[in-house]
Structure 1
Amino acid sequence: MYRFIDKQEEVETIKKQHTEMELKFLKSQINPHVLFNNLNTIYSYALEKPKETPELVLMLSENLKHVLYESNEKTISLEKEIHFIDNYIKFQKIRTEGIKQINYSKTIDTIQHYIAPLLLITIIENAFKHSTINSTVNIHIEVINGVLNFTCINNFDNEKVNSSDLKIGLQNLEKRLELIYKDAYTLNINKTDLFKVTLKLNLK
């Protein structure tokens, strides 16, 4: 009986370690994309608008801290994750000025919740990377009564939307959601006239 209990505990420990390793691997595939885009933006500003560059460097520093340290936790405060996304959107507005229209809105009753880090940014990055020139990217985050509803809508290029990196990114997202939230999430991806991703998360 004791040997059986010990064996079960050993199996559970191995499962937990495997899950943690898989989550770290999935997150490691996300991090570089976020940072490279921001660095390119700062480089352009350093040449064209040097006086405005320090603020971008500070924003990048905050995002680096978030990606390198805070995102190692299983969950982090919703406030930190939203701040990270806000900074990312600011960078994108600068990078795509005159090329893409960005509609970013939030309806949040309270930020006193926790969320798995770097989930939403995967979807947002895809929207900018695979949308067409002179198009609109619509992003809305809503948190009411502990439930997060996230919507991202963008135009798309048929060739880009069927690329392997987009599929891999979304597959990694689904794996992370399944590992962390199990039955507490709903992810829908629709690509008809527009590429629309909706994610519902129970943050309670």
Structure 2
Amino acid sequence: MILTTNNNKRNIIGAIALVLAAVPIVVIFFIVITSNKDSVVLFENYSPKVSIPIISFYFLLYLALFCFGIYWLVKQILFIIKLKNENGKMELLHLQNQVNPHFFFNMLNNLYGWVAKDQKKAQELILKLSDMMRYSIYEGQKDFVTIGEEIAYLKNYIDLHTLRYHKKINVNFETTVEDDQLKIIPLLYIMLLENAFKHGVENLRENAFVTIKLTSNNNTISFKVENNYDTDLVSQSSGIGIKNLKRRLELAYPKKHEFLVSKNNTTYKALLILKL
């Protein structure tokens, strides 16, 4: 109610100012139309004591209207920028919420089998899975997390996979981080790691490997994943997950990232570099 009243007052004041500002213009047009004069000088028949205050008033009025116009324009531009940022955040959050759902379902299905077969291993899986789900639900909703938290999440993911497979796999995760408090958006690297397991390890009967290297220095973070894959299956780089990641990078790190993928006959490589 108070907000509406204030808006009405502003509208009334604005209307009065516009009417007053239009008076000299209307007068000039009227004089030009009704007289044969080539030029018009306002207040030429008035003494300076009368004309100067009126001219000063209109000068200040036009100046105020000009300043108000600039203020309004800047305000509208800032509003549009804010709206775009909010829309970007909403889209980013939506994309983050798409990360990992099928992985959790697969793990729950595996747990069902482990409970009857090996309760101790099932308990270990449940604890790690609960940590991952907690991170995805709570930390995943934040704008930023520390790189140390993200590394811990990735290690849990790797541990879960190595526990659930019935075959030997070679997973090597190397980290060289100067400052584990560096801030990045949550769940950024999991898509690349998930891609390596889904299209590499799961489809190979033997000799499967995944090599992960994460390094950071001078506000630059490099994340590299390399894995072998079955050449008879669909390319890793064509999935929805990669498109999701590319869009998140465009929203969160415009012109501050490099994302490269390459492959040969047996190996797939992904490299993501962030410049914070």
Task: Report the CA distance between 1:196 and its aligned residue.
Answer: 0.4
Does residue 174 (structure 1) correspond to residue 246 (structure 2)? The answer is yes
Matches within 5 A, 1:36-185: 36-131=105-200, 132-133=203-204, 134=206, 135-158=208-231, 160-162=233-235, 166-185=238-257
Indicate the structure with greater helix content: 2
Compare the two structures and name the one with the higher strand fraction: 1
Q: How many residues align?
A: 202
Contact 1:41/1:94 (<8 A) preserved: no
Conservation of the 8 A alpha-carbon contact between 2:195 and 2:236? no
* Structure 1 Cα separation of the partners of residues 165 and 137 of structure 2: 26
Which runs of 5 or more structure 2 residues have no equivalent in the other structure? 1-68
Give the 3 Å change call, closer, same or farther, for CA 12–58 of structure 1 in structure 2: same
**Greater CA deviation, 133-142 or 31-40?**
31-40
1:75 CA drift (Å): 0.9
Distance 1:34 1:115, change over 3 A: farther
Alignment of 1:3-42 (within 5 A): 3-42=72-111
Offset, 1:61: 1.5
Q: Is the 8 A contact 1:41 1:91 kept in 2?
A: no
* Cα RMSD after superposing both structures: 2.0
Runs of 4+ in structure 1 displaced over 4 angstroms? none
When structure 1 is superposed on structure 2, of 134-143 and 120-129 the one drifting more is: 134-143
Output one character per residue of 1:161-189: Cα deviation in whole Å (capped at 9) or x when no partner: 3379x522111101111111112211100
Amino acid at match of 2:239: K
Q: State the SS of the aligned residue for 1:13.
A: helix
**Per-residue CA distance 1:40-91 (angstroms, 9 max, x = gap):** 3433321221023223222112111110111111111112111111100001
Please state how far the C-alpha of 1:144 moved relative to its aligned partner.
2.8
Specify the SS of the correspondent of 2:130: helix
Residues 6-43 of structure 1: CA distance to partner in whole angstroms, max 9, x if unpaired?
Answer: 32122112201210121122112213133223323433
Distance change in 2, residues 1:104/1:161 (3 Å): farther
SS in structure 2 at match of 1:69: helix
For the structure 1 residues 198 and 178, does the alpha-carbon distance in structure 2 shift closer, same or farther, using more than 3 Å as the test? same
Q: TM-score of the superposition, structure 1-length normalised? A: 0.89
Separation in 2, partners of 1:163, 1:180: 23
> Is the CA contact (8 Å cut-off) linking 1:77 and 1:115 kept in structure 2?
yes
Q: 1:56 to 1:163 in 2, by over 3 A?
A: closer
| TM-score between the two structures when normalised by the length of structure 2 | 0.67
Instruction: Provide closer, same or farther for how the CA distance between residues 141 and 47 of structure 1 changes in structure 2, counting only shifts above 3 A.
Output: farther
Q: Which has the higher contact order (CA 8 A, sep 6+)?
A: 1
Q: Partners in 2 of 1:146 and 1:123 — Cα distance?
A: 21
Quick one: structure 1 residues 177 and 100, their matched pair in 2 at CA, closer, same or farther if it must change by over 3 Å?
A: same
Counterpart amino acid of 1:178?
E
Offset at residue 97 of structure 1 (A):
4.3
